[in-house]
Amino acid sequence: MNDSAILIVTARWDSTAFAGAEILRRNGRTPFLFFPEDFPQRAQLSADFRQGRWSSRLRTDDGTIDLDNVKAVWWRKPLPNRPPRSLPPVEFPYARRENDYALRGLWDLLLADPDVYWMNSPWSIRRADDKLLQMSRAAAHGLESPRTIVTNDPERVRAFYDECSGEMVFKSMTGPFLVPGQVDEFKFQVDMPGIPLVRPFTTEDMANVGSARHNACMFQELVEKKHELRVTVFEDQVFTCEIRSQESDLTRYDWRRQDAPPKAVAGDLPEPVAAACLALMEEFDLRYAAFDFIVTPDDRHVFLEMNPNGQWLFVQEWVPQLRLMQAFVDIMVRNS
């Protein structure tokens, strides 16, 4: 049986989790990766309640972990459990609900143990990932954000477009656009060149604005950029990456284009802005988060969003001197 002390809950596509696990091994730890998408077809759980307490374990193709031995959990980006498609249609949703309930029970047991360190709790991630709440709380901590609306009312979109003098962007609230033919209920396309999550709203879009009635949409005023910042925070350590997004038309509106990575360097963050980031971390009970800012030509720092489970390996690769991986490893080793 594997006596690992660090449990990593993630998905098989998550390169950050695999990279982190490898570095943890080099530092004397034996992390155990669990992929909920493999459950129940390629993974098993067992939980026994005896003498007033639960004893639980997970078994996968890679081994078995006794959850009593877990001292730290790194919660990454797990996908839903996947019952076999051979189940009758009426049984499939029931099996998925039961599986989800059992897995959540295991996570809740670990969360209830004060000796188990979490980066981050899935419940903290869920609350902190709400962009509407983020903007409200960021303002309470003194951060500036763009004027924003969320609506499925085409008339409100038209009015806001006029208020912004046509300088308006559409922003996806939940993730990438779906790609027909490449999506099923277990996964979504995460590598989509040419389809940015933020893009300017054009006169052609305005001609078709009636389609906004089909789902809630987020629109923001277009903020002029000098450059952008990706601020990565591990506990009380703040690392700033300056992204030269305005040097290319491909990244002018959204630097997350996978086909056109921008130039990036180590950056600076004013102390009041860093303090606000740390205050948001504390308020949402986070040990890790990534923040996105616009720096305007007159050096205002405009808060865009907080990513409580955002990617950070790319920042390490773009700007190695920030030493994000070392900060992560030091924290996990110290708490396991």
Listed in sequence order, the residues at least 6 apart from 123 whose beta carbon sits closer than 8 Å to its beta carbon are: 111
How far apart are alpha carbons 17 and 73 in whole angstroms?
A: 12
Q: Are 238 and 270 in contact (CB under 8 A)?
A: no
3-state secondary structure labels for all residues of 194-237: CCCCEEECCHHHHHCHHHHHHCCEEEEECCCCCEEEEEEEECCE
Nearest to 16 by CA among 238, 239, 311, 307: 311
pLDDT digits (tens, 9 = 90+) for 311-326: 999 999 999 999 999 9
| 147-222: CATH topology | Dna Ligase; domain 1 (3.30.1490)
Share of the chain above pLDDT 70, in %: 91
| Domain residue limits, the chain | 6-119, 121-143+224-324, 147-222
Please tell me the pTM assigned to this model.
0.90
Give just the sign of the alpha carbon dihedral 19, 230, 218, 203: negative
> What's the CATH superfamily of 121-143+224-324?
ATP-grasp fold, B domain (3.30.470.20)
Rounded to 5°, the CA angle 120-121-125 comes to 80
How sure is the predictor about 194, in pLDDT bands with cuts at 50, 70 and 90?
Answer: very low
What letter represents residue 109's amino acid?
L
- Check if 121-143+224-324 and 147-222 are the same fold: no
Q: How far is CA 250 from the centre of its chain?
A: 23
pLDDT in the model for residue 151: 94
Q: Give kind and range of the element (H or E) at residue 151.
A: strand 148-151
**Phi-psi region at 172: left, alpha or beta (left = phi > 0; alpha = psi -120 to 50):** beta
pLDDT band, very low/low/confident/very high, at 203 (cuts 50, 70, 90): confident
Q: What is the pLDDT of residues 234-290, one digit of tens each?
A: 999 999 999 998 988 878 888 876 566 789 999 999 999 999 999 999 999 999 999
Classify burial at 165, counting beta carbons within 10 Å of its beta carbon; exposed 0-12, middle 13-18, buried 19 or more: exposed
Please identify which residue in the block is written with the tokens 């085409």. Answer: 154
Query: Would you say the C-alpha torsion 63, 66, 72, 73 has a positive or negative sign?
Result: positive
